[in-house]
Structure 1
Amino acid sequence: MRFLLEVTLDDDASDADRAAGLGRILRYWGGNLHRYALRDGTGEAVYDSAYTEVGQWRVSAS
């Protein structure tokens, strides 16, 4: 099984802002993964702090 997290980071943002945004995403999804059945095909969109879709996560069998 593979857990895939893809996030597009803003090229115009500073390194610190990108790191902070990614940190928020990882904390949020890391804390909520227990709510999902982690099996092939499970996934959802990922949003930044402005509620803009910036990526997705998904579980794949291989």
Structure 2
Amino acid sequence: MKFVLEVDLDDTASDEEAARELGRILRYWGGNLHHYALGSGAAAAVHDSGYREVGRWSTTPGAGG
């Protein structure tokens, strides 16, 4: 399985703020990982701390099938 996480932080005011926001997103997502079924084809939106949709994660079959 291949896991893809895409987050668009273009609307973030500065690189420092973008780094903090990405850290929050990764901590939240990682902490809630057990709530997701990560089988092939799973996907969901990713939200920032203001609950705005800023990206998406998904799973696809890996190179081996």
TM-score in terms of structure 1 length: 0.90
Unaligned runs of 5+ in 1: none
Any idea what SS the aligned residue of 1:10 has?
Answer: coil
Unaligned runs of 5+ in 2: none
Q: Which amino acid aligns with 1:58?
A: S
TM-score in terms of structure 2 length: 0.87
1-side partners of 2:13 and 2:3: how far apart?
27
Bigger Cα Rg: 2
| More displaced stretch, 7-16 vs 20-29 | 7-16
| Aligned residue in 2 for 1:38 | 38
Percent identity over the alignment? 61
Return structure 1 stretches of 4+ with deviation > 6 angstroms. none
In structure 2, do the counterparts of structure 1 residues 11 and 47 end up closer, same or farther at CA, with 3 Å as the change threshold?
Answer: closer
| Aligned residue in 2 for 1:15 | 15
2-side partners of 1:58 and 1:18: how far apart?
22
Q: CA RMSD in A?
A: 1.2
Q: Aligned residue pairs: how many?
A: 62
Any idea what SS the aligned residue of 2:32 has?
Answer: helix
2-side partners of 1:50 and 1:11: how far apart?
12
Query: Are the counterparts in 1 of residues 4 and 58 from structure 2 also a CA contact under 8 Å?
Result: yes
